[in-house]
Amino acid sequence: MRAAIETRDLRREFGSVTAVDALSLEVRPGEVFGLLGPNGAGKTTTIKMLITLLPPTSGSATVAGHDIAHEARAVRRSIGYVPQLLSSDGALSARENLDISGHLYHIPAPERRERIEEALRFMGLTDVGDNLVRTYSGGMVRRLEIAQAMLHAPPVLFLDEPTVGLDPTARRAVWEHVRKLREREGTTILLTTHYMDEAAELCERVGIMHLGKLVALGTPESLAAEVGPGASLDDVFTHFTGSELDDTTAGGTYRDVARTRRTARRLG
């Protein structure tokens, strides 16, 4: 069976800095795969290459069977993408946001209306579909953004920190909808997260990146067993990325912190 996402020696350099170093992995069709790692590990750069926003320096990758370098348009038609920063317009209603997404994906008007209503039902937003998005809770906003990304029924969905800034109840609501999406549509989902409980809850397999390299790959259970009896995914993360934090890089850069706090404030 052809992989939904496949990379072969994928590499991206920024001058003298290698952000992604010879990354090779396969994500199976219908799998929820977690890409983990500290800030600066190369996760976001990897996603940007896979969604064709950034060309690789060398190596190759396919998404939904399409080459990211030579079939970029076909890749973009085959994916949904929910970035960490908000992507819905707070001055519009959910239906209006979805309608814009439908136009961008060139979905014909009659079909677009049907898909919008189905997306609202699936995400539990029908009763508030005409309310302005700026009145939504953080969890509702995330559910709307996932609905926007899935409106054209892509086989592959990328979620970048999907629950950053959300309270525990909202996080679990998003988890439940991600699970339902995978079960109902068979969607392949690649997500990044810094929440190890989220990765353990949602992901069938995880890959851990550190300094641009893939340093561990497997199920959360198999990696925990490799680390030792009673190990958690937090222990796995620490084991493969280093237990000592450098105060000059811990928690990411000023820009990382500012972006996360801005997103949390807007979602909260």
For tokens 């960490």, the residue is: 84
At position 265, the amino acid (one-letter code) is R
Q: What is the pLDDT at residue 185? A: 86
Q: Is the pLDDT of residue 30 over 90?
A: yes
* Residue 151 DSSP symbol: T
Mean pLDDT, rounded, for 64-85: 93
User: For the whole model, what pTM was predicted?
Assistant: 0.85
Banded pLDDT at 138 (limits 50, 70, 90): confident
Mean pLDDT, rounded, for 240-250: 53
CA 100 to chain centre: 21
Q: What span, in angstroms and rounded, lies between the C-alpha atoms of 233 and 242? A: 14
Weakest-pLDDT range from 17-21, 103-107, 179-183, 239-243: 239-243
- Smallest CA-to-CA distance from 162 within 83, 88, 233 is with 83
Per-residue model confidence as pLDDT tens digits over 169-195? 888 888 888 888 888 889 999 999 989
Mean pLDDT, rounded, for 218-237: 94
Q: Is the pLDDT of residue 47 over 50?
A: yes
Helix (H) or strand (E) holding 267: helix 254-267
Q: Counting beta carbons within 10 angstroms of the beta carbon of residue 234, is it exposed (0 to 12), middle (13 to 18) or buried (19 or more)? A: middle
Q: Is the pLDDT of residue 200 over 90?
A: yes
More confidently predicted of 83 and 1:
83
Residues 6+ positions from 42 with CB-CB distance below 8 Å = 12, 19, 20, 21, 23, 209, 211, 212, 213
Name the fold adopted by 5-78+154-267. Answer: Rossmann fold (3.40.50)
Q: What is the pLDDT at residue 246? A: 40
Mean pLDDT, rounded, for 105-129: 92
Q: Are strands 188-192 and 32-36 parallel, antiparallel or unpaired?
A: parallel
Pair 182, 12: CB distance under 8 Å: no
* Residue 132 DSSP symbol: B
Q: What is the pLDDT at residue 248? A: 37
Q: What span, in angstroms and rounded, lies between the C-alpha atoms of 144 and 103? A: 16
Mean pLDDT, rounded, for 124-144: 92
More confidently predicted of 134 and 254:
134
Q: What is the pLDDT at residue 209? A: 96
More confidently predicted of 41 and 169:
41
What sign does the dihedral 234-193-117-5 (CA atoms) show?
negative
Q: Is the pLDDT of residue 245 over 70?
A: no
Q: What is the pLDDT at residue 247? A: 36
Mean pLDDT, rounded, for 219-243: 91
Q: Is the pLDDT of residue 2 over 90?
A: no
